[in-house]
C-alpha cells in the first residue's frame, strides 16, 4: 500500500471511463468498475487519463469522476486525476478544482500539440505544481504529445517540492536509471509490457491499462519484486504477456480494454467517444485471437468472454459533446 514516501500506491489502474450506448458516462458502471479494480489489488486509480478518454470528457465529468472515485475507494486506494491541458491556465483551473473534489494527487501530461521548448515545459509543470498542495506525477509520453521531457528538464523539475514522480511511457531505460540515481523522483511504468523491467531497475510501481481487466497479477508482480522474489514476478509477467498483447497491440488500449471488459460483462457498453471508434471486425478478430493464448490468470475467467462486435462498432452514434470547458 502507499506510504509517506509514496503517496500514490504501487498498482495504479489507468481507468477506462465506461459509457452508455449513447456515449454518456455510465456512473453506475464506473462505480462498479472502480470497486472491481480495488478489490483485485489496485491501491491507486488514475481517472481522466489517456485511457479514460480525457480529451473528450467535459470538465464537470472530470470532476465528478474524482468525486465518485473518492467515494467508492473509501480510503482503500488513492485517487489521482490525470489529463490536464495544453493550456497552462486551464490545467491549473482543473487541478485546483480536482483538489477541491478530493483528489489525492495529480498527473500532468507534457503539453501536447503546442510543441513548447523544454523551458516552456518546465514552466508549465512548475506553475501547476505551485498552484496545488497535492503531490504531482509528470507524464512523459512523447508518442502522444509530440515532445519528450528531457533528462535535464526532469532533473530541474525534481527540485520542486510538489513534483515527486514520473510516469514513463518513453521506454528509455538508461535515462530512467540515470534519473532514479540522481533524483528522489518515484518512477511509474507507463508501458504495460515493460512493468517488470521498470520495477527491476528501481521503479516504484505502474500505471496500467491492462490492469483494468486483470489487476491481480500486477499486484503479484509488485509484491514479489518488493520481496526480492524474481521467479514469482517473472511467472506473473509471462502470464500477462498475451493479455497485454491483446489490449495494447491492435487498436488504442482504451478501445481494446473496453471491448474485452464488455465481453466479460463487466461494463454495460464498449462505447468510446469519437474520434475513437470500436474495433473493426478484423481488429476484433486479432484481439480475440490474442485472448485465446491467455492462460489462467487469477480473477479473470475468459470462458465468460462473449464478444459483441455489433455493440462495439454499430448502433446509434454517441452524442457529440461540445466544449470541454
List the catalytic residues.
139, 167
Kindly write down the DSSP assignment for every residue of 176-207, as one continuous string: HHHHHHHS--EEEE--GGGHHHHHHTT--EEE
Residue 168: CB atoms within 10 A of its CB come to 26
DSSP 142: H
Residue 22: CB atoms within 10 A of its CB come to 12
- In this structure, the strands spanning 136-140 and 205-208 are unpaired
Q: Are 186 and 7 in contact (CB under 8 A)?
A: no
CA 267 → CA 113, 208, 259, distances in Å?
32, 18, 9
Burial class, 267, CB count within 10 angstroms (exposed 0-12 / middle 13-18 / buried 19+):
buried
DSSP 299: T
Comparing C-alpha atoms, which of 49, 47, 45, 51 is closest to residue 10? Answer: 45
In sequence order, what E strands does the chain have? 11-14, 44-47, 78-81, 105-109, 136-140, 163-168, 186-189, 205-208
Q: 304 preceded by cis ω (within 30°)?
A: no
Burial class, 273, CB count within 10 angstroms (exposed 0-12 / middle 13-18 / buried 19+):
buried
Amino acid at each position: 500500500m502507499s506510504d509517506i514516501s509514496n503517496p500514490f500506491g504501487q498498482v495504479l489502474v489507468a481507468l477506462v471511463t465506461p459509457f452508455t450506448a449513447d456515449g454518456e458516462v455510465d456512473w453506475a458502471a464506473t462505480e462498479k468498475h472502480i470497486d472491481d479494480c480495488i478489490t483485485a489489488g489496485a491501491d491507486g486509480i488514475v481517472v481522466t487519463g489517456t485511457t479514460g478518454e480525457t480529451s473528450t470528457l467535459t470538465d464537470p465529468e472530470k470532476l465528478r469522476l474524482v468525486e465518485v472515485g473518492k467515494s467508492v475507494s473509501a480510503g482503500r486506494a488513492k485517487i489521482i486525476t490525470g489529463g490536464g491541458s495544453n493550456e497552462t491556465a486551464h490545467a491549473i483551473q482543473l487541478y485546483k478544482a480536482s483538489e477541491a473534489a478530493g483528489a489525492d494527487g495529480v498527473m500532468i501530461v507534457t503539453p501536447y500539440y503546442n510543441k513548447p521548448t523544454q523551458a516552456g515545459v518546465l514552466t508549465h509543470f512548475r506553475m501547476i505544481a505551485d498552484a496545488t498542495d497535492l503531490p504531482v506525477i509528470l507524464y512523459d509520453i512523447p508518442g502522444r504529445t509530440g515532445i519528450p521531457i528531457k533528462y535535464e528538464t526532469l532533473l530541474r523539475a525534481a527540485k520542486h517540492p510538489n513534483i515527486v514522480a514520473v510516469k514513463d511511457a518513453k521506454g528509455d531505460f538508461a535515462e530512467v536509471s540515470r534519473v532514479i540515481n540522481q533524483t528522489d523522483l518515484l518512477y511509474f511504468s507507463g508501458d504495460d509490457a515493460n512493468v517488470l523491467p521498470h520495477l527491476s531497475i528501481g521503479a516504484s510501481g505502474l500505471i496500467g491499462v491492462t490492469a483494468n481487466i486483470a489487476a491481480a497479477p500486477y499486484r503479484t508482480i509488485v509484491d514479489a519484486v518488493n520481496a526480492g522474489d524474481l521467479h514469482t514476478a517473472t511467472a506473473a509477467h509471462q502470464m500477462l504477456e498475451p493479455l497485454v498483447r491483446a489490449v495494447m497491440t491492435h487498436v488504442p488500449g482504451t478501445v481494446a480494454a473496453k471491448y474485452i471488459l464488455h465481453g466479460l460483462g463487466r461494463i454495460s457498453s464498449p462505447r468510446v467517444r469519437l474520434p475513437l471508434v470500436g474495433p473493426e471486425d478484423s481488429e476484433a478478430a486479432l484481439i480475440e485471437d490474442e485472448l485465446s493464448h491467455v492462460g489462467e490468470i487469477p480473477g479473470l475467467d475468459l470462458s465468460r468472454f462473449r464478444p459483441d462486435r455489433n455493440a462495439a462498432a454499430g448502433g446509434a452514434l454517441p452524442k457529440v459533446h461540445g466544449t470541454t470547458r
